[in-house]
Amino acid sequence: MTETLDAIDAKILSIIQDDAALPVAEVAEKVGLSSSPCWRRIKRMEDAGLIKRRVTILNREKLGLGFEVFCSVKLTLPSKENLDAFDRAVMGWPEVVQCATVTGSADYQLRVITRDMRAFDEFERNEMLSLGLISNIESHIVIRSVKDTTAIALNLINAAL
């Protein structure tokens, strides 16, 4: 069930999903509340699971991790055991920053971040293919990112927000 949000909740979420490091007092000022009621709203949304966690987004290029690849992965046999084994393996691969099971000709879509093409090749050979579960990997190297956001469009929740 979706948690009921009012316009102030939505504005708080919009502000903190843009910058989670803002002090509560500053968030409160931006939404027209005092600190205590603002903090209580944030706490309520955390307790309800609307706010999963607060993170810092790093500049991966400046850290030397500018190579990004989207991989469509097809398992040899998409049985429950193989899907579970692949899920467990993905959780241990720090190069994979996103993984989803998908419909269509592939079983998974992965977003992989590494240093360069050589590091990706090593990851693909030594980690992914060494599992013995994969029949095909179709890799798409990102040339330029057009949009890269973690923000959720809150106006899609309720037209009144």
Q: Give me the pLDDT at residue 156, please.
A: 80
Q: Give me the pLDDT at residue 63, please.
A: 96
Query: What's the chain's average pLDDT?
Result: 93
> Is the pLDDT assigned to residue 159 strictly greater than 60?
no
> Is the pLDDT assigned to residue 161 strictly greater than 60?
no
Which of 59, 63, 43 lies closest to 51 in space, CA to CA?
Answer: 43
Domains present along the chain, CATH in parentheses: 7-56 (1.10.10.10), 67-141 (3.30.70.920)
Predicted model pTM: 0.86
Which range among 29-33, 53-57, 109-113, 138-142 shows the weakest confidence by mean pLDDT? 53-57
Rounded Cα distance, 31 and 5, in Å = 14
List pLDDT tens digits, range 108-151.
Answer: 999 999 999 999 999 999 999 999 999 999 999 999 999 999 99
Q: Give me the pLDDT at residue 2, please.
A: 60
Rounded Cα distance, 69 and 72, in Å = 10
Residue 6's φ and ψ, nearest 5 degrees, are -100, 180
Location of structure tokens 């993170």: 55
Asked whether 131 and 85 are in contact (CB, 8 A), the reply is yes
> Is the pLDDT assigned to residue 85 strictly greater than 90?
yes
pLDDT, mean of residues 33-52? 95
> Is the pLDDT assigned to residue 158 strictly greater than 70?
no
- Strand ranges in the chain using DSSP code E only, listed in sequence order: 67-75, 96-101, 108-114, 134-141
Mapped to the 3 state alphabet, what secondary structure does 81-114 carry? HHHHHHHHHHHCCCCEEEEEECCCCCCEEEEEEE
> Is the pLDDT assigned to residue 160 strictly greater than 50?
no
If one counts every other C-beta atom within 10 angstroms of the C-beta of residue 97, the result is 13
> Is the pLDDT assigned to residue 1 strictly greater than 90?
no
Residue 158 tokens read as: 């309720």
Q: Give me the pLDDT at residue 23, please.
A: 96
